[in-house]
Amino acid sequence: MKRGFKHVTIEALHYEKDGMLPKRADDRSAGYDFYSPIDVLFKPNQTVIIWTNIKAYMLRDEVLNLYVRSSIATKKGLKLVNQVGVIDSSYYGNEDNDGNIGIALCNTSDRMVVIQEGERIVQGIFVKYLTADNDSVIHKHRSGGFGSSNEKEDVING
């Protein structure tokens, strides 16, 4: 197995149901569409993490980058808080949340915005990456989940 998606374990679920496994829109789409597993109401300027209940596995030298879908950004005024979500290969199966992919969106508009269950919200693209000569890492193994620095979330969980 090289790369793909699975449902997280029951212990890592956030909404008591599996998320929809990501799919490409057509055979030449680069991105895999991620779907919201729940209805979410965003107040103006509110940030919400939508937990997908999905995890991604990939080769050691790959990353899954998440980008907000253009229709979500232009029509609804939602943006990814970190502009590009970076899902490292070490995030898969981590002890904190089994690799449950959370999507942190912020409503940049001055109106209420609704995301409906099953709506496509971001797209994920698998990418190879390179490392520097004499690469040095801070930790040999990942120990934390979302945010990887083990900082606590201060946003609302949908």
Asked whether 82 and 45 are in contact (CB, 8 A), the reply is: no
pLDDT per position as a tens digit, 88-113:
999 999 988 999 999 999 999 999 99
β-sheet bridge partners, residue 143? none
Q: Is residue 138 part of a domain?
A: no
Does some domain include residue 91? yes
Total domains in the fold of the chain: 1
Structural domain includes residue 142: no
**22 belongs to a structural domain:** yes
Q: Is 103 left (phi over 0), alpha (psi -120 to 50) or beta?
A: beta
Decide if 134 is inside a domain.
Answer: no
Per the structure, the complete domain to which residue 27 belongs is given by 4-129+153-157
CATH number for 56: 2.70.40.10
**Prediction pTM value:** 0.86
